Chain A
Amino acid sequence: MLASALIVFREVFEAGLILGIVLSATRGVAGRAGWVAGGVLGGLLGACLVAAFAGAIGDAMQGSGQEVFNAGILLIAAVMLGWHNVWMARHGREMAGEMKALGRGVSDGSRTLMALAVVVGVAVLREGSEVALFLYGLTVGGDGGLALLSGGVLGLLGGGAVAALLYRGLVSIPTRQLFRVTNIMLSLLAAGMAAQAAGFLIQADLLPAWGAQIWDSSAVLDQKSIIGRALHALVGYTDRPAGLQLAVYGATLAALLVAGRAASHPAGSQPVTTAPQRAREPHRV
């Protein structure tokens, strides 16, 4: 039971961290609860499908199906995060200005919510399909149903609690700073997901590694430790990164920075700001 609780905890924990950030990043956006819940439900449904067809997915594309699938959904999530960040660069000040209803662009609001719902869905799908396969294996293996169920529930509760803590911590940041913080976190999350996708494509031999292991920082921070796992889920920490993963990570961050800057200074139009705010933040980074 402890083993199943632990593994469920670990997966829920990783998905929960992403959920926590997304919830913080959409604080005050009307209708977010429905979108995020939709993302979770869609992810759960997807997880069951992926688990059910794991064999077929694995056999597809000369045995590279699983890697390509994982890389694909991670890249979709990274693109969605990038899209959200650009949107935030345009509308962040309005939100920070506590104009919760988002005077302009309610439809834009629901589009960025859709993007983030996809991110949540992908996170839940990835971790959830592992949990589903693991629990299925235990059932087939004849482990006691009750022990299994209670282990799963314990893991679910523990993982959910960590996600809730992260959310509470983040939303205690004053609103004006909150979006700056969540924007940085989402950028790092996107870079981490893109680097993970690169890792899968290297494993499938579809991309060159550019150095299988550039460094080994496992002695300093082991990726298998709980902090290592949290950082892996949040910012893509890998204790033995391949060269290509580092390049993709850097390139993603750079692209997001450039896009964010371009979006926050659209040619010929001034972002809507209230006077006191402008005085307080003369430069937008």
Chain B
Amino acid sequence: MRVYLTGVTALATLMAMSVPVRADDPVTFRLTIKNHTFDPAELAVPAGKRLILIVHNADDTPAEFESHELGAEKIISAGREASIRVGPLTAGHYPFADEFHQDQARGVLIAAGE
């Protein structure tokens, strides 16, 4: 238990020491949910930057923007928009979905370059 505790403390200290400087100003992208589909369904974003996704739910039912890949989870009520902060991302594909309409409402962020 003591060893465990020491390990946990060491981890916490390590994390505290390795605080990276904040990336510069975030870049904003807009997405719309209409008829339970994302527009655009594929979005190219810069890697290595902080991003703000502004998701507008144009449907008359609530949506839940969710992406484990992006570490994002947010309910967007009918007719409203929500901003979600993600990144900085390493290059790659980051799928997301409206959890309430997973069959149709799917999209992907493609992070590339620097």
Q: A3-B103, A212-B88 are in contact. Are A254 and B75 (CB under 8 A)?
A: no
Query: Are the C-beta atoms of A203 and B9 separated by less than 8 Å?
Result: no
State in angstroms the CA–CA spacing of A209 and B53 once bound together.
17
In the bound complex, residues from chain A placing their C-beta under 8 Å from that of B93 are: none
0/1 string, A138-161, CB within 8 A of B gives 1: 101100000000000000000000
In the bound complex, residues from chain B placing their C-beta under 8 Å from that of A133 are: 62, 64, 75, 100
Query: Are the C-beta atoms of B61 and A140 separated by less than 8 Å?
Result: yes
A271 interface residue per 8 A CB criterion: no
Which residue of B19, B61, B82, B99 is within 8 Å of A58 (Cβ)? B82
The number of residues on chain B lying at the interface, defined by a beta carbon within 8 Å of a beta carbon of chain A, is 43
A238 interface residue per 8 A CB criterion: yes
Query: Are the C-beta atoms of A242 and B1 separated by less than 8 Å?
Result: no
Which residue of A63, A141, A246, A285 is within 8 Å of B82 (Cβ)? A63
Query: Are the C-beta atoms of A247 and B16 separated by less than 8 Å?
Result: yes
Shortest CB-to-CB span from A150 to chain B, Å, is 18
Shortest CB-to-CB span from A90 to chain B, Å, is 18
0/1 string, B39-78, CB within 8 A of A gives 1: 0000000000000000000001111100011011111111
In the bound complex, residues from chain B placing their C-beta under 8 Å from that of A240 are: 68-69, 71
Q: Which residue of A lies closest to B61 (CB)?
A: A137
0/1 string, B82-107, CB within 8 A of A gives 1: 11111111100000000111110000
A202 interface residue per 8 A CB criterion: yes
Q: Which residue of B lies closest to A254 (CB)?
A: B8
In the bound complex, residues from chain B placing their C-beta under 8 Å from that of A224 are: 68
Q: A3-B103, A137-B61, A240-B69 are in contact. Are A210 and B74 (CB under 8 A)?
A: no
Interface residues of A in 186-238 (CB under 8 A from B): 199-200, 202-205, 208, 210-213, 218, 223-224, 238
Q: Which residue of B lies closest to A55 (CB)?
A: B77
Shortest CB-to-CB span from B87 to chain A, Å, is 6
Which residue of B71, B78, B90 is within 8 Å of A238 (Cβ)? B71
0/1 string, B10-26, CB within 8 A of A gives 1: 01100110111010000
A259 interface residue per 8 A CB criterion: no
Q: A140-B61, A212-B86 are in contact. Are A246 and B100 (CB under 8 A)?
A: no
State in angstroms the CA–CA spacing of A253 and B1 once bound together.
11
In the bound complex, residues from chain B placing their C-beta under 8 Å from that of A223 are: 68
What are the 3 A-B residue pairs with the smallest beta carbon separation, nearest first? A137-B61, A55-B77, A247-B15
* 26 A-B interface contacts by CB (under 8 A): A3-B102, A54-B75, A58-B76, A58-B82, A134-B62, A137-B63, A137-B101, A202-B85, A210-B15, A211-B20, A212-B86, A212-B88, A213-B90, A224-B68, A238-B71, A244-B15, A246-B15, A247-B15, A250-B8, A251-B12, A253-B8, A254-B8, A254-B12, A257-B1, A257-B4, A258-B5
* Chain B residues packing against A (C-beta within 8 Å): 1, 4-5, 8-9, 11-12, 15-16, 18-20, 22, 60-64, 68-69, 71-78, 80, 82-90, 99-103
20 extra interface residue pairs, beta carbon distance < 8 Å, beyond A7-B99, A212-B87: A58-B75, A58-B80, A66-B74, A67-B74, A133-B64, A133-B100, A137-B61, A137-B101, A203-B72, A210-B15, A211-B20, A213-B89, A213-B90, A243-B15, A250-B9, A250-B11, A250-B15, A251-B8, A254-B5, A285-B1
